[in-house]
Amino acid sequence: MAWTTEKETLFILKNASWFGTEAGDVFQVIDVDKGSLQNVITFPPDGAFLVESSLGVVGDQRTDFKFSGAKLKLPRRTLNIPPFGKGWFDTVYLDQNIRVAKDIRGDTLITTRDGPPR
């Protein structure tokens, strides 16, 4: 992730010290063929916050998603968090390296590609 206005992500990034660490990489893994979306915030060296979602493309720009699970991986344990919520995002710009998306709440997400297209 290069930039976002998404409040929950910004809150976690700002308050990572609550878990005795700093936030590391923040990224999404999207697999359109499998209909899955994973949001990841890493907490080096061994922690992460992971949110799993199903997704479906519903138009040229719009993608629906539904959260299916979340977990906070800490060095000594993993906390499962009940899934909640669903929504959509519109891809408002896409090229070989950058995706800009605007979601149901009006938040903006800018991501850069870090792997082959899927």
The CATH architecture assigned to 3-112 reads Beta Barrel (2.40)
Running DSSP on this structure, what letter comes out for residue 104? T
Question: Letter for the amino acid at 106?
Answer: G
pLDDT at residue 19 tops 80: no
Q: Which residues pair with 41 in a beta bridge?
A: 26, 49
User: b or e along 27-59 (b: 16 or more beta carbons within 10 Å of the residue's beta carbon)?
Assistant: ebebeeeeeebebbbbbeeebbbbbbbebeeee
Give the pLDDT confidence score for residue 71 in this predicted structure.
96
pLDDT digits (tens, 9 = 90+) for 78-117: 999 998 899 999 999 999 999 999 999 999 999 999 876 5
The residues spanned by each domain of the chain are 3-112
